[in-house]
Amino acid sequence: MNFSNRTCKVLLSLFGAAVLAACSTTNRPAPVEDRTAMGKASPPPVIASTTQPEVAKPLAAAENAGKPGYYTVQRGDNLTRIGLDHGQGWRDLARWNNIANPDVIEVGQVVRVTPPGSAVENAGVVVRPVAQSGPSVAQQTPVQTTAPAKPLPAASPIASEDMAFAWPANGNVIAGFDEAKNKGLDIGGKAGDAVMAAADGQVVYAGAGLRGYGNLVILKHNNTYLTAYAHNQKLLVKEDQKVHKGDKIAEMGNSDADRVKLHFEVRRQGKPVDPAKFLATR
């Protein structure tokens, strides 16, 4: 709004200096924004993000690493191999560890490999008494601070080294047991020859998901022993099926092998042992 000089004098006498600013705007042009390089406005300040970097979540059961009854997953593992190495079926491992997809486990993941509450797991537990109020320490009778370890339950007769297995095939032994190079016996034969259960048991695996074993059957006989039958051309049993000693469970083949043969393993609590110690002399 512009005022004449006369009007400004009248307003000045009435309102004083308050109108000087208004009067001084008479005929003043609007300011021009300087858009030259020297007059560019400063860029808006950069506001640091308050979002914290994503932190990798710890793997399931990581706090149990190294404890008795637990195993840390290594590169190349799957539940079938872990089960074979610890005398368990993969379905039990999946159930004990709440693994929804048994094909997805991670390196570094810690999995339970013994039943909950098993003697192996409890063997690592140390019990200490709760401190009680009472007389001074000098007046008290010394108290044992660590409970004595409880002896593990005695193995059942079926879990002894004297357990007998039947020969799983009729061919000749073409490769003996070697803990480092051959974890079982290799038995020769022709494609289609019968492969038989070495003892009563339950099928805990039937498939070809374990590298180096081809078409494989694993039987669980009790809480101590598993037997494995590898390189078959055809599997005749399904997982969870119960079988009896001498039942035909597969046909001999050369899947994932250089010749037709049966690779037969005996696992005692997951550790390979010489099958010849459990088989009758021919």
For the ranges 135-144, 174-183, 189-198, 254-263, the lowest mean pLDDT is seen at 135-144
Q: Is the pTM value of this prediction over 0.75?
A: no
On average, the pLDDT of the chain sits at 77
For the ranges 51-60, 69-78, 85-94, 111-120, the lowest mean pLDDT is seen at 51-60
Where is pLDDT greater, at 262 or 161? 262
At residue 61 the predicted structure's pLDDT band, cuts being 50, 70 and 90, is confident
Q: What is the pLDDT of residues 242-278, one digit of tens each?
A: 999 999 999 999 999 999 999 999 999 999 999 999 9
Domains, the chain, ranges and CATH? 1-28 (no CATH), 62-115 (3.10.350.10), 164-277 (2.70.70.10)
The stretch 170-199 carries a mean pLDDT of 96
| Dist. CA 274–CA 102, nearest whole Å | 30
> Is it the case that residue 133 has pLDDT exceeding 50?
no
Give the model's pLDDT for residue 102. 87
Where is pLDDT greater, at 228 or 87? 228
